[in-house]
Structure 1
Amino acid sequence: MKVVISGFYGLGNTGDEAILESIVDNLREELDNPDITVFSLSPQETASTHNVKSVYRGWRHENKEKIRALRQADLLISGGGGLLQDTYPTKVIFGPLPYYLLIVFLAKLCGAKVMFFSQGIGPVNTRYGKLLMKVFANLADLITVRDEYSKQLLHKLGVKRPKSIVTSDIVFGFMPKEDKACLESLPLAEEDMNRVVAVSVRPWFGRTEHYAEMAETLDKLLEKKDVIPVFVPMEGHHDVKASNLVIERMKHSDKVHVLAGDFTPNQYLDFIGRSRLTIGMRLHSLIFATLKGVPHIGISYDKKVESLLKRSGMWDYSFLLEEIDTNKMADNAIHLLENRDAASALITENAKELRSEAVRNVDLLREYFGN
Structure 2
Amino acid sequence: MKIVISGFYGLGNTGDEAILESIVDNLRGELDSPEITVFSLSPEETARTHQVKSIYRGWRHQFGDKIKALREADLLVSGGGGLLQDTYPTKFIFGPLPYYLLIVFLAKLCRTKVMFFSQGIGPITSTWGKILMKIFANMADFVTVRDQYSKDYLLKLGVTRPKTVVTSDIVFAFKKKEDDACLKSLELSNTDNLVAVSVRPWFEKVKQFEQIASILDELIEARKITPVFVPMEGHHDVNASQKVLEKMKHADKCVMLGEKFTPNQYLNFISKCQLTIGMRLHALIFSTISGVPHIGLSYDKKVESLLKRSGMWEYSAVLEEINEENLTKNAITLLDNRDKFVQIVKNNAETMRVDAIRNLDLLKEHFVK
Pair in the same fold by TM > 0.5:
yes
Structure 2 match to 1:182 = 182
- 1:323 matches 2:356: no
What does the per-residue CA deviation read over 1:206-243, in whole Å, with 9 as the maximum and x for residues that have no partner? 21111111111111111111110000000001001100
CA distance in structure 2 between the aligned counterparts of 1:337 and 1:300, rounded to whole angstroms = 21
Structure 2 match to 1:347 = 345
What is the 5 A alignment of 1:76-155?
A: 76-155=76-155
Return the letter of the residue paired with 1:167.
T
Question: Structure 1 residue 126: deviation in Å?
Answer: 0.5
CA distance in structure 2 between the aligned counterparts of 1:193 and 1:238, rounded to whole angstroms = 26
- 1:15 matches 2:45: no
CA distance in structure 2 between the aligned counterparts of 1:264 and 1:132, rounded to whole angstroms = 34
Question: Structure 1 residue 88: deviation in Å?
Answer: 0.4
8 Å contact 1:193–1:276 — kept in the other structure?
A: no
CA distance in structure 1 between the aligned counterparts of 2:118 and 2:198, rounded to whole angstroms = 23
CA distance in structure 2 between the aligned counterparts of 1:76 and 1:104, rounded to whole angstroms = 8
What does the per-residue CA deviation read over 1:331-355, in whole Å, with 9 as the maximum and x for residues that have no partner? 1111100000000000101111100
| SS of residue matched to 1:198 | strand
Task: Among all aligned residue pairs of Structure 1 and Structure 2, give the percentage whose two residues are the same amino acid.
Answer: 68
CA distance in structure 2 between the aligned counterparts of 1:134 and 1:111, rounded to whole angstroms = 20
Return the letter of the residue paired with 1:128.
W
CA distance in structure 2 between the aligned counterparts of 1:187 and 1:316, rounded to whole angstroms = 34
CA distance in structure 2 between the aligned counterparts of 1:154 and 1:44, rounded to whole angstroms = 34
Question: Structure 1 residue 185: deviation in Å?
Answer: 0.7
CA distance in structure 1 between the aligned counterparts of 2:197 and 2:293, rounded to whole angstroms = 12
Question: Structure 1 residue 111: deviation in Å?
Answer: 1.1
Return the letter of the residue paired with 1:106.
L
Return the letter of the residue paired with 2:354.
S
What is the 5 A alignment of 1:162-177?
A: 162-177=162-177
CA distance in structure 1 between the aligned counterparts of 2:80 and 2:366, rounded to whole angstroms = 18
What does the per-residue CA deviation read over 1:307-326, in whole Å, with 9 as the maximum and x for residues that have no partner? 00000000000000000011
CA distance in structure 1 between the aligned counterparts of 2:362 and 2:328, rounded to whole angstroms = 42
Q: CA RMSD in A?
A: 0.6
Return the letter of the residue paired with 2:309.
R
| SS of residue matched to 1:229 | strand
CA distance in structure 2 between the aligned counterparts of 1:21 and 1:230, rounded to whole angstroms = 25
CA distance in structure 2 between the aligned counterparts of 1:126 and 1:273, rounded to whole angstroms = 39
Return the letter of the residue paired with 1:289.
S
User: Which 5+ residue runs of structure 1 have no aligned equivalent?
Assistant: none
CA distance in structure 2 between the aligned counterparts of 1:24 and 1:187, rounded to whole angstroms = 33
CA distance in structure 1 between the aligned counterparts of 2:127 and 2:116, rounded to whole angstroms = 22
Structure 1 match to 2:211 = 213
User: Which 5+ residue runs of structure 2 have no aligned equivalent?
Assistant: none
CA distance in structure 1 between the aligned counterparts of 2:241 and 2:256, rounded to whole angstroms = 7
TM-score for the superposition, normalised by structure 2: 0.99
TM-score for the superposition, normalised by structure 1: 0.99
What does the per-residue CA deviation read over 1:106-147, in whole Å, with 9 as the maximum and x for residues that have no partner? 000011100000000000001000000000000000000000
Return the letter of the residue paired with 2:202.
W
Structure 2 match to 1:69 = 69
Structure 2 match to 1:2 = 2
CA distance in structure 2 between the aligned counterparts of 1:121 and 1:46, rounded to whole angstroms = 25
What does the per-residue CA deviation read over 1:251-287, in whole Å, with 9 as the maximum and x for residues that have no partner? 1110000101110000000000010100010000000
CA distance in structure 2 between the aligned counterparts of 1:358 and 1:103, rounded to whole angstroms = 24
What does the per-residue CA deviation read over 1:351-371, in whole Å, with 9 as the maximum and x for residues that have no partner? 111000000001000000015
CA distance in structure 2 between the aligned counterparts of 1:161 and 1:346, rounded to whole angstroms = 37
Structure 2 match to 1:311 = 309
Structure 2 match to 1:333 = 331
Question: Structure 1 residue 194: deviation in Å?
Answer: 2.4
CA distance in structure 2 between the aligned counterparts of 1:270 and 1:134, rounded to whole angstroms = 41
Runs of 4+ in 1 over 3 A off after TM superposition: none
CA distance in structure 2 between the aligned counterparts of 1:163 and 1:131, rounded to whole angstroms = 20
Return the letter of the residue paired with 1:339.
N
| SS of residue matched to 1:83 | strand
Question: Structure 1 residue 187: deviation in Å?
Answer: 2.4
Return the letter of the residue paired with 1:133.
M
CA distance in structure 1 between the aligned counterparts of 2:201 and 2:324, rounded to whole angstroms = 19
Aligned length in residues: 369
What is the 5 A alignment of 1:201-280?
A: 201-280=199-278
| SS of residue matched to 1:193 | coil
What does the per-residue CA deviation read over 1:32-63, in whole Å, with 9 as the maximum and x for residues that have no partner? 00000000000000000000000000011110
What is the 5 A alignment of 1:281-292?
A: 281-292=279-290
What is the 5 A alignment of 1:50-69?
A: 50-69=50-69
